Chains A and B, each alone.
Chain A
């Protein structure tokens, strides 16, 4: 990464250094300058091969470091984020870490939909795209079953998949996946039936543009979106820190447009009617019943998540009928577990142990 441009107003900052409050504002201004000028680092650089393609979806394969005969792991990110969020920085990448732990890793990259994909709904995504991706991963790995991991909205989709197509599932894990949308925080208020008429906001045959999504996400924490520049200014002193911060900024900046049919269905049935938890959501004529899930499950909800609050993810653990199920509640935010230091230190080893246990068919350890 090259050096950011020189801030022409930087010398004036010294004049404000005697005044803590004004200096804080000056730091935010400097942070904004760094944010606007600092080059973004490369992301998603872990070597891989594409083993399956359908529509805009690509299934990326990351070979294990050593072949231990472990079952394949399919990682499913949210549809409105780039898949590289699970491969943001080489030393903290989720795909690279799991591959280094000898798991054959398959990353579902949903790709960027075009106007021709505007009518693709949740049913198409889960029963057509995801199902085939899992089957192809199993075939490629020469394994009868795969473990599937879903993050955020990807986790909600994985839960739906586990309820409808358990045949290929060795087990599933979700991270910050909301299922009780009445507890989905501020975002739920933004899209409540009194505020949003889904047929008007997501008209048929269109895509929901990213410029519409970004301010909505910023409004979830408006002051955080402002004061983060102070952190960027602080990070600017250290190239490594700045690179990390800018990688995260790429994630926040580079959303993916979403098919209006998908958004219409998801907002209506999930956020407005809470149809998933109530068993009133049908995909392709099949009702999604979370109670029907019996596969081994690992449910992870972060205590400090304000995008998908833990209260919206916890009911998944209670609702599923799996005999082998674990609930983990780390003290972290929505993204920290995947891109922060918590990932390699805590979350990836936890996932590795769980994957190895279900691969061996070992029973769950009794809780103390």
Chain B
């Protein structure tokens, strides 16, 4: 490489950067110009119209040939989509009902568990009472014999008081 090559390299680099900057500015001007935007809008409308016309022409041709057209398939798939939507709505309702049922089932189960627990508790209390009653009944005859002389003394005192 000669001595001048580094300068040439730098110069070309600077040229490139200037070109890039210039292009960016140019694009900005173009993309913001009303003429370009209006042309783009017209082009988009034209393309859309051409597409729609083409699809219509193809459909008409197929219809004339008694061949199912795109329109027919679209109609069918729309029916399928509508059916799917209805099924999903039904499924939603079923799921809601299933949630409600599950909640009710849970509540019923809880109530049953509670009542079973209450029954067990009542039975236990009854058994305890029975045990106490049995214990009391066992103590009762013994208590009766031990309290007899006192009762007799009481009765004699009450007789004396009445005669006086």
Contact = CB atoms under 8 A, between A and B. Distances in A.
A363 interface: no
B15 A200 contact: no
B156 to A, nearest CB: 83
A206 B52 contact: yes
A19 interface: yes
Interface string B16-27: 110110011001
Given A18-B1, A21-B15, A115-B70, A194 B10 contact: no
A300 B32 CA distance: 29
Contacts of B88: 54, 132
B20 A223 contact: yes
A227 B20 contact: yes
B84 A55 contact: yes
Interface string A202-222: 110110010010000001001
Interface in B29-52: 31-32, 34, 37-38, 40-41, 44-45, 47-49, 51-52
Contacts of B55: 206
A196 B95 contact: no
Contact of A20 (B10, B37, B49, B85): B10
B37 A190 contact: yes
Contact of B16 (A24, A190, A195): A24
A143 interface: no
Contacts, number: 98
A186 interface: yes
Contacts of A323: none
B1 to A, nearest CB: 6
A203 B77 contact: no
A192 B45 CA distance: 14
Contacts of B163: none
A113 to B, nearest CB: 11
A224 B130 CA distance: 95
A265 interface: no
A288 B63 CA distance: 43
Contacts of B24: 222-223
Given A21-B16, A115-B70, A189-B32, A55 B41 contact: no
A219 to B, nearest CB: 6
B41 A223 contact: no
Contact of B45 (A114, A128, A201): A201
A135 B81 CA distance: 20
Contacts of A197: 41, 45
Nearest to A20: B13
A203 B54 CA distance: 13
Contact of A55 (B12, B81, B95): B81
B121 interface: no
B74 interface: yes
B8 interface: yes
A22 interface: yes
A327 interface: no
A118 B48 CA distance: 14
B78 interface: yes
A7 interface: no
Contact of B40 (A55, A118, A195, A202): A195
Nearest to B15: A21
B51 A195 contact: no
Interface string B107-137: 0000000000000000000000000000000
A223 B23 CA distance: 7
Contact of B77 (A114, A132, A135, A206): A114
Nearest to B87: A54
Interface string A278-296: 0000000000000000000
Interface in A168-204: 186, 189-190, 192, 194-197, 200-203
B23 A19 contact: no
A205 B53 CA distance: 12
Contacts of A209: 51
30 contacts: A18-B5, A18-B8, A18-B9, A19-B9, A19-B12, A20-B10, A21-B12, A21-B19, A55-B81, A55-B84, A114-B77, A115-B70, A116-B81, A128-B85, A132-B92, A189-B32, A190-B40, A192-B37, A194-B37, A194-B41, A195-B38, A200-B49, A201-B41, A202-B48, A206-B48, A206-B52, A206-B55, A223-B23, A223-B24, A227-B20
Given A18-B9, A205-B74, A222-B27, 4 more contacts: A21-B19, A54-B84, A203-B52, A212-B44
Question: What are the 6 A-B residue pairs with the smallest beta carbon separation, nearest first?
Answer: A20-B13, A21-B16, A21-B12, A116-B77, A195-B41, A200-B45
Interface of A: 18-25, 54-55, 114-118, 128, 132, 135, 139, 186, 189-190, 192, 194-197, 200-203, 205-206, 209, 212, 219, 222-223, 227
